[in-house]
Structure 1
Amino acid sequence: MTRSSFSRRRFLKSSAATSVAAMTPCFFNSTQPISSEFRCLNDKAPIGLIGAGGMGTGNMKAASEYVDVVAIADVDSGRAGKANMELSEGKADVYEDYRSVLERDDIKIVHIATPDHWHTKPLIEAMLAGKDVYCEKPLTLTIDEGKLIRKVQKETGRVVQVGTQQRSQFRQFTKAVAVAAEGRLGKIKRIQCAIGAAPVSKAIPVAEVPKELNWDMWLGPAPQTELRNGRETTVDKNGKKKRARRNNFHYEFRWWYEYSGGKLTDWGAHHIDIAMWALAANGQSTNIVSIDGTAKHPVEFKDGVALQKDRYNTANEFMFTAMTDEGVEIVIRHDTDNGCLIEGEKGRIFVNRKKLVGKPIEELKDNPLPKDAVQKVYKGLPMESQGRVAHWLNFLHCHKERIEPISDVHSHMTMLNVCHLAGITARLGRKINWDAKTETIVGDELANSMLARPYREGYEIEMNALATSQ
């Protein structure tokens, strides 16, 4: 199937459904739940899925009541075919090249759930093609990619939701931010983000590329290299042995700096997001001026480059402290209970995906938050569902109303810059001073060169080819 073609059958079916929906009256008012906006007869939004792994298919299943997957793009034909059966009973059009999805006029929304190194390019090209986008976190591999994403979003006005779903999926995070915003903690002095240690591996052998995988396209903008795949016997904390998968593609991409930032941009993109959200909600600066600390890697580094190419190379243990221009410490560590410990002059709270605790929380029993406190920090947007679907309902509502969603690209990049700077500090083993206004590293030429990475020839961002007036 060529990039420019798509199923006439699917198009006609979609058009017919739209006509039926147009004849079916739907009445909404401000007291109805947000999900009612999308429950009209045949009122599902056609959507294109780019990246059909576990996250992409899981998200589409969660949002299945409100979206209709009409196109799937993945460089692994096995994954694409499986997702097609699970999400659309085999009725979606399947492509290897994501640009075939972006060229379709019947698709106004795309979901990008590719490996991290494949986020920026299709996201920018989707915005230029007139699409609204729900893109998984982290949006970028580098700080300079974030600058370009923010620029294109401002110029196109597209609605982009980042997959930092803790803002919607787990209501205790929003409540924690509301507690801070209502002054219950006083001025915040320190926030600790515990994000867990990363796995390590022994040498992983070079392996034959699976016949269903386009390896060159999977690598995309990243450097050309050989596919590695194997198994390794590991022992858990209870002494139980198991055979663990070790490779440099699909899920395991996140333990290679070539494709990810490791735990710093994986779990870090979740908890540091909560930390920066709480600071901003409390009226405090989120501008970072420096970051320092130590990290342990499973390989040696020289000038920020891993010397061994046959095993995981992201930091597996670490302790960093980022300082804001108001003297707030943001600590990023691999140990202690996963979650965010927010410490203020009046008290402290701890929040993760299972709990929200602390004396200021206990005091809510006798001195509850104002009824609108949580919705205020949620940008005044409708709040109905919890769970995975909640972040999607927020996105679909903002797509419909043409407004900024709860996880916007601008606040996301403010916090993701902290994650990226921690990664540079880890690889160089020295303190970094940061100028938030110019978004440059001060007085360190090598560190400053790591704000960007070259794209492999043939996989550069297409800034003009897909531009549209939509």
Structure 2
Amino acid sequence: MSAPLNLSRRQVLGSIAAGSAGVMMSSAGRVLGAPAPSDRPVFATIGLRNQGWTITNKSTPFADFAAFADVDETVLGENLEKLEKKTGKKADGYKDYRKVLERDDIDAVMIGAPDHWHTKISVEAMLAGKDVYCEKPLTLTIDEGKLIEKVVKQTGRVFQVGTMQRSENDQRFLKAIALIRDGRIGEIRKVTCGINGATGSPVIPAIEVPKGLDWDRWLGPAPKVDYRALPEMREGYGGGVPLYTNCHYAWRNWYEYSGGQMNDWGAHHVDIATWALGAGDTGPNKVTPVSFSLPVDYKDGYPTVNDQYNSPTKFEILANMPGDIPMVITSEGDNGILFEGTKGRFFVNRGKLAGKPVEDLESNPLPEGAVEEVYGGPVSKNHTDNFVAAIKSRKQPISDVWSHNRMLETCHLANISIRLGRALNWDPNARQIIGDDEANSFLSRESRKGYEIDM
């Protein structure tokens, strides 16, 4: 059994109180909240498989890495070797991420752990005086987002969410927003976010935990369950792990650890769509499940079996955005965003920006500085570059927790509406579902004993 990972109420409130006072001191006397001591801050990565290594690899031009943490010894060892081969420098490795947070020489942490761990690690990192870069989607519930916002404000930490489409992909998403702001499609009438469907799974048996994996700690705040896997292996991205499992890579198909495709791809495209609509500080007032398919039976919003994937495989969601603009989130059609307005329409994804308004740019280009105005200044070619600049300026980066959480609330509400099979009326000011106590119960979750944040 792993050591409990809960902070005491005194530790949490004491750290917040110190942060609210404006200055927090480490045990070595270092001021936490001041700019990094050099042009190359010192980072650590917590959670290394797949995306954890991806964000680390992209960050090596901008920061030095002093430590890694992962609950899988094999993953930890492989990535320590990759880092040394790439940079020529060794980093320390830990199974317990708290060892990283105890170190005074680390300025910021990058979190690539599964979604159900994001909030706990993020909060504890900020309370330990670290700036944070956390992979998307940031949270598993809406109330987790509120907690992170509170701690960011009270500690003064810099916090970047890993929605890289805001900084990368040849600026095409920024150009899309600039087109809209410049009136190239007139008034927006509809936005469609295509975010791909998913597949169910066969029955997945409980088997022995792989050697080197601390399964209890991997589960962390989630309920204690058996490790499950079938022998067939995944190819391509996420390869080297079972195709069907409740752990590495495939955890995205389980509501216990993720929000399925709705949160995985939705965190990218719904983010850009919400930004384009100027709804980054509000969100929808109603979310309706037009159609959906779940791979297992549900009762009262919960799956009735625990040995198969349980997140939606197909869906069409209608979100009523400010100005009564409909946003459709669908598993059908091309992956990307279709913007439709009174004067035209265009489509954007990671491979293209297409449509007549785009073609017209050849003879009628956007005003000079239009893309930079969307970004709020010179555009970073790398999301970590923007994060490091924010660390130095002590200003929040391009993907801040407030706009991310507002966007992600749409995705969370979509999932709740699917689980309960009904439309939800949302109060974006109170951030509560209106007149539905059962639905409101899904705004938070209970953490497993020993893995709580006791506040």
Q: Same fold (TM over 0.5)?
A: yes
Contact map agreement 1:57 1:87 (CA 8 A) in 2: no
Residue of structure 1 equivalent to 2:285: 289
In the alignment, which residue of structure 2 is the partner of 1:29? none
Amino acid at match of 1:95: Y
SS at match of 2:319: strand
- When residues 285 and 412 of structure 1 are mapped into structure 2, their CA distance, relative to the original with a 3 A threshold, is closer
Distance 2:375 2:454 in 1: 34
Tell me, yes or no, if structure 1 residue 441 matches structure 2 residue 433: yes
Question: Is the counterpart of residue 67 in structure 1 residue 63 in structure 2?
Answer: yes
- The answer as to 2:310 corresponding to 1:313 is yes
CA offset at residue 43 of structure 1? 4.7
Q: Could you tell me how far apart the structure 2 residues matched to 1:174 and 1:160 are?
A: 21
Residue 368 (structure 2) pairs with residue 376 (structure 1): no
Cα deviation for residue 457 of structure 1 reads 0.4
Q: Which residue of 1 aligns with 2:123?
A: 124
Please give the per-residue CA displacement for 1:282-323, whole angstroms capped at 9, x wherever unaligned: x89843111112210110000100001101000000011000
Counterpart code for 1:230: L
Q: CA contact under 8 A between 1:47 and 1:108: conserved in structure 2?
A: yes
1:304-350 superposed Cα distances (whole Å, 9 cap, x missing partner): 00001101000000011000242010100001011000112222110
Match of 2:324, SS state, is: coil
Once the two structures are superposed, the pairs formed by residues 17-166 of structure 1 within 5 Å of their partners are 43-89=39-85, 91-166=90-165
Q: When the two structures are aligned, how many residues end up with a matched partner?
A: 411
Structure 1 runs of 4+ with >4 Å offset: 283-286
Q: 1:284 to 1:101 in 2, by over 3 A?
A: closer
Change (3 A) 1:285 1:189: farther
Q: For 1:304 and 1:384, how far apart are their aligned partners in 2?
A: 42
Rounded to whole Å, the distance in 2 between the matches of 1:379 and 1:197 is 34
Q: What is the correspondence of 1:40-439 to structure 2 with a 5 Å cutoff?
A: 43-89=39-85, 91-170=90-169, 171-231=171-231, 245-280=243-278, 286-293=282-289, 294-380=291-377, 382-385=378-381, 390-439=382-431
Equivalent AA in structure 2 for residue 103 of structure 1: E
Give CA-to-partner distance per residue, 1:22-73, whole Å, 9 cap, x none: xxxxxxxxxxxxxxxx9xxx95321111001111112211221222111111
Identity of aligned residues (%): 51
The corresponding residue for 1:25 is: none
- Contact 2:283/2:407 (CA < 8 Å) preserved in 1? no
1:405 maps to amino acid: P
Q: 1:327 to 1:284 in 2, by over 3 A?
A: farther
C-alpha contact 1:162 1:408 (8 A) present in aligned 2: yes
The answer (yes or no) to whether the contact 1:49–1:71 under 8 Å persists in 2 is yes
Compared CA separation, residues 153 and 43, structure 1 to 2 (3 A)? closer
**CA RMSD, Structure 1 to Structure 2 (Å):** 2.1
- Within 2, Cα distance between the matches of 1:129 and 1:287? 32
1:82 and 1:232 map into 2 onto residues whose CA distance is: 22
The DSSP-based 3-state class of the residue aligned with 1:191 is strand
Whether the aligned pair in 2 keeps the contact of 1:285 and 1:326 (CA below 8 Å) is no
CA distance in 2, matches of 1:162, 1:255: 21
CA distance 1:233–1:250, change in 2 (3 Å): closer
Per-residue CA deviations over 1:213-267 (Å, capped at 9, x if unaligned) read: 1100000000000000114599xxxxxxxx9710000111100000000000000
Q: Which amino acid aligns with 1:383?
A: V
Distance in structure 2 (CA, Å) of the matches to 1:233 and 1:333: 29
TM-score by length of 1: 0.84
Gaps of 5+ in 2: 5-35, 235-240
Q: Secondary structure at the match of 2:252?
A: helix
